[in-house]
């Protein structure tokens, strides 16, 4: 069907939105019922008047500028206050937010501007509520972050206290241990000398035999057990000292040529690698930010482990590399991969704890290396994780803050 | 200059450690007199003002434990090296750990050699060789006995 032209005006009039048309002098030439509802004016009160009656005093100048700019411009229609809310003024003087779309039409050489106006008070209310909600959320996130930072600080202090404690205890234990080590060595020497004296022919043969048996079986064996135990104790204490030192030593952070550090470590282990016929490959390693000695320690432990825990039934391969960018911003992920014996899933969570060893027969050690690695990375602002399949191999991934390039 | 008249001043608070060190000094061939100080203050006193039968003009070789009560070994080292009258005394530091920072601090203050306990007689031989004193101070025992160094 076709709508007869005279009814078009009716449609305009009953529209819920306010429709206001002004001529080039900004005089109102059309004011529908919707506009009456929004502004409180009857059409008769505003027709022929300046558009300014609908605009708060303060923004009249700015508004006029906008309208004139639009009238001259090439754009035919546009929404004002889509994001920003424009303010309107009711008959009773109250001001309220409105959403306006204006369009222009040239009728008989005259520019007519039509504004479709929607009361945005409700929308504004929702927006304000949303805004408040957002602020509230942000506030809570901030508070929680601060709380976490505080907790973190407390934890760090706790860790440092623990390290201080471990350090002083291990240090104090060294002193009595030196006596144990020293005097068991003295005993060994004395027994050796006594056994020599036993060779003197003035000693009757049967007595010599009995004494010899006592020395060899009773005394020397006991001493050997003590010395083995003391040696082990000593290595454990040294390992604890090293761990606590890793947490306390002062770092000199700088941009690091990680590739050079990894090559230095591999060169130092070249002999071991060659003996075990292991192929070691080093890929492209981007610069990091950290302490050179600490990062070298990380590579030394991981590469050392890779060489230690190989599967002798196949040629060993160790690869040092970095993941392509796409790591969390501001950091790089490096890895040390081997095709060794692997680590069972159940053990992986214990791996980074001090004094934990899964393959004590494969290599000498105290189970402190990975604990040091984890502590060092924590201090440098990095993380470490492991992926491993028994019988296939292990990859350690760790992150370091990126060095500026 | 001969070092035979040199006195070894052993600054060590732990009796066991002191005893072990003396035994190993003997094993290394030392015939010199050994005087024991039990803490840092006593060490400084002996070096500065002497003791009965031991004038302050005596030549000392100082074996200095780091961990001692009251004044520790590092402080003793610092004070001795800061005083021109005592700065030339050769000092061998003794410690129970090989803490790299501790080692560095001692070298900064001017210690000559650094030995980690327990001290084996080989460590003394090496330390004295580094001080350039070994042949002057040591008299290898002529007759074999239980205290002789065995390689
Ligand atoms: N690359 C690896 N492949 C298989 N097992 C490993 C690897 N790295 C570490 N492990 C296991 O984790 C244990 C702890 O390692 P670490 O902390 O370096 O101490 P250590 O090497 O002295 O035992 C090792 O004893 C070993 O059982
Ligand atoms: Mg290891």
Q: Are B140 and B20 in contact (CB under 8 A)?
A: no
Q: How confident is the model at residue B4 (pLDDT cuts 50, 70, 90)?
A: low
Q: How confident is the model at residue B110 (pLDDT cuts 50, 70, 90)?
A: confident
Q: How confident is the model at residue B138 (pLDDT cuts 50, 70, 90)?
A: low
pLDDT tens digits, A92-126 = 999 988 888 888 888 888 888 888 888 877 777 88
Distance A82 CA to ligand 1 centre (A): 62
Distance A292 CA to ligand 1 centre (A): 23
Residue B141 lies in a domain: no
Q: Is the pLDDT score of A82 beyond 70? A: no
Q: Do A182 and B101 touch (CB under 8 A)?
A: no
pLDDT tens digits, A295-330 = 999 999 999 999 999 999 999 999 999 998 755 568
Does ligand 1 come within 6 angstroms of the Cβ of A309? Answer: yes
Q: pLDDT value at position B120?
A: 80
Weakest mean pLDDT among A68-72, A213-217, A225-229, A325-329: A325-329
Residues 6+ apart with CB under 8 A from A42: A36
The nearest CA of chain B is from the CA of A177 a distance in Å of 9
Tokens 């501007």 belong to A113
B30 membership: H or E segment, kind and range: none
Q: Which residues are registered as beta bridge partners of A100?
A: A80, A117
Q: Which pairs count as long-range contacts for A266-272, CB under 8 Å and 24+ apart, including other chains?
A: A266/A303, A266/A320, A268/A300, A269/A300, A269/A303, A269/A304, A269/A307, A272/A307
Weakest mean pLDDT among A134-148, A381-395, B22-36: B22-36
Taking phi over 0 as left and psi of -120 to 50 as alpha, with beta for the rest, B51 belongs to beta
Q: Which residues are registered as beta bridge partners of A288?
A: A256, A402
Residue B106 lies in a domain: yes
CB pairs under 8 A between A and B: 44
Please give the Cα distance from A216 to A149 (Å, whole number). 63
- Per DSSP, the three-state class of A190 is helix
How many domains does the structure of chain B reveal?
1
Chain B positions touching A179 (Cβ under 8 A) are 14, 16-17, 20
Q: pLDDT value at position B1?
A: 44
The nearest CA of chain A is from the CA of B103 a distance in Å of 14
Overall average pLDDT of the A233-249 stretch: 87
ipTM of predicted complex: 0.81
Please give the Cα distance from B100 to A379 (Å, whole number). 19
Q: Which among A169, A182, A189, A252 is the top mutation candidate for probing chain B, defined by the most B β-carbons within 10 Å of its own β-carbon?
A: A182
Distance A305 CA to ligand 1 centre (A): 6
Does ligand 1 come within 6 angstroms of the Cβ of A300? Answer: no
Does ligand 1 come within 6 angstroms of the Cβ of A297? Answer: no
Pairing of strands B7-11, A288-290: unpaired
Q: Which of these, A113, A102, A115, lies nearest to A23 by C-alpha position?
A: A113
Please give the Cα distance from B138 to B65 (Å, whole number). 22
CATH number for position B25: 3.40.50.2300
Residue B146 lies in a domain: no
Q: Exposed (0-12), middle (13-18) or buried (19+): which is A100, by Cβ within 10 Å?
A: buried
Q: pLDDT value at position B147?
A: 47
Q: Do A193 and B117 touch (CB under 8 A)?
A: no
Residues 6+ apart with CB under 8 A from A17: A34, A116, A117, A118
Structure tokens at B97: 């750990």
Overall average pLDDT of the A218-245 stretch: 89
- Residues 4-43 (B) with a CB less than 8 A from some CB of A: 14, 16-17, 20, 23
Q: pLDDT value at position B149?
A: 45
Residue B88 lies in a domain: yes
Distance A152 CA to ligand 2 centre (A): 28
CA distance between the termini of chain A = 70
Q: Are B67 and B96 in contact (CB under 8 A)?
A: yes
Q: pLDDT value at position A100?
A: 83
Structure tokens at A202: 């003035």
Q: What is the pTM of this model?
A: 0.66
Q: Do B96 and A178 touch (CB under 8 A)?
A: yes
Q: How confident is the model at residue A89 (pLDDT cuts 50, 70, 90)?
A: very high
Domain ranges of chain A: 5-119, 126-248, 254-401
Structure tokens at A74: 């090439």
Q: Exposed (0-12), middle (13-18) or buried (19+): which is A11, by Cβ within 10 Å?
A: exposed
Q: Do A175 and B20 touch (CB under 8 A)?
A: no
Q: pLDDT value at position B137?
A: 62
pLDDT tens digits, A355-395 = 889 998 999 999 999 999 999 999 999 999 999 999 999 99
Domain of residue B131: give its range.
3-136
Q: The domain A254-401: what is its CATH number?
A: 3.30.565.10
Q: State the architecture of A5-119 in CATH terms.
A: 2-Layer Sandwich (3.30)
Residue B151 lies in a domain: no
Q: How many CB atoms lie within 10 A of CB B135?
A: 11
pLDDT tens digits, A31-56 = 999 999 999 999 999 999 999 999 99
């Amino acid at each position: 069907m076709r709508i007869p032209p005279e009814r078009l005006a009716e449609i305009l009039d009953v529209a819920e939105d306010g429709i206001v048309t002004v001529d080039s002098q900004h005089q109102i030439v059309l004011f529908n019922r919707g506009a009456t509802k929004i502004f409180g004016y009857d059409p008769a009160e505003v027709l022929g008047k300046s558009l300014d009656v609908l605009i708060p005093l303060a923004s009249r100048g700015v508004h006029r500028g906008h309208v004139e700019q639009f009238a001259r411009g090439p754009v035919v229609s546009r929404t004002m206050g889509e994001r920003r809310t424009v303010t309107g003024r009711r008959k009773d003087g109250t001001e309220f937010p409105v959403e306006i779309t204006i369009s222009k039409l040239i009728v008989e050489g005259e520019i007519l501007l039509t504004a479709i106006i929607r009361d945005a008070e409700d929308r504004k209310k929702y927006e304000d509520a949303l805004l408040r909600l957002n602020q509230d959320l942000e506030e809570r996130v901030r508070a929680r972050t601060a709380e976490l930072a505080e907790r973190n600080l407390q934890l760090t202090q706790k860790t440092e206290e623990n390290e201080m404690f471990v350090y002083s205890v291990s240090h104090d234990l060294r002193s009595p241990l030196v006596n144990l080590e020293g005097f068991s060595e003295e005993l060994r020497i004395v027994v050796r000398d006594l056994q020599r004296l036993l060779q003197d022919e003035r000693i009757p043969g049967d007595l010599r035999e009995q004494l010899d048996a006592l020395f060899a079986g009773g005394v020397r064996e006991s001493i050997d057990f003590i010395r083995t135990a003391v040696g082990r104790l000593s290595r454990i204490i040294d390992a604890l000292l090293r761990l606590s030192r890793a947490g306390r030593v002062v770092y000199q952070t700088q941009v690091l040529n990680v590739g050079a550090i990894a090559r230095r470590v591999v060169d130092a282990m070249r002999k071991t690698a060659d003996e075990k016929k292991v192929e070691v490959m080093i890929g492209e390693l981007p610069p990091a930010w950290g302490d050179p000695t600490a990062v070298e320690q990380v590579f030394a432990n991981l590469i050392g482990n890779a060489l230690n825990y190989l599967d002798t039934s196949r040629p060993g391969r160790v690869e040092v590399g970095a993941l392509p960018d796409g790591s969390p911003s501001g950091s790089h992920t490096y890895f040390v991969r081997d095709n060794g014996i692997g680590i069972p899933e159940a053990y992986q969570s214990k791996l980074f704890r001090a004094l934990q060893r899964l393959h004590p027969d494969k290599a000498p050690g105290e189970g402190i290396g990975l604990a040091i690695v984890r502590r060092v990375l924590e201090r440098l602002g990095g993380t470490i994780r492991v992926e491993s399949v028994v019988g296939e191999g292990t990859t350690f991934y760790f992150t370091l803050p990126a060095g500026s390039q | 200059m001969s070092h035979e008249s040199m006195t070894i001043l052993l600054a060590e608070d732990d009796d066991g450690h002191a005893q072990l060190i003396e035994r190993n000094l003997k094993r290394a061939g030392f015939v010199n007199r050994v005087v024991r100080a039990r803490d840092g203050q006593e060490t400084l006193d002996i070096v500065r003002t002497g003791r009965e039968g031991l004038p302050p003009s005596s030549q000392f070789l100082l074996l200095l434990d780091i961990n001692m009560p009251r004044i520790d070994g590092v402080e003793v080292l610092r004070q001795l090296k800061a005083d021109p009258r005592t700065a030339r005394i050769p000092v061998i530091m003794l410690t129970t750990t090989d803490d790299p920072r501790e080692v560095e601090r001692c070298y900064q203050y001017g210690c000559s050699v650094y030995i980690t306990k327990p001290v084996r007689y080989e460590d003394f031989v090496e330390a004295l060789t580094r001080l350039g004193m070994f042949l002057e101070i040591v008299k290898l025992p002529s007759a074999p006995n239980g205290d002789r160094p065995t390689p």
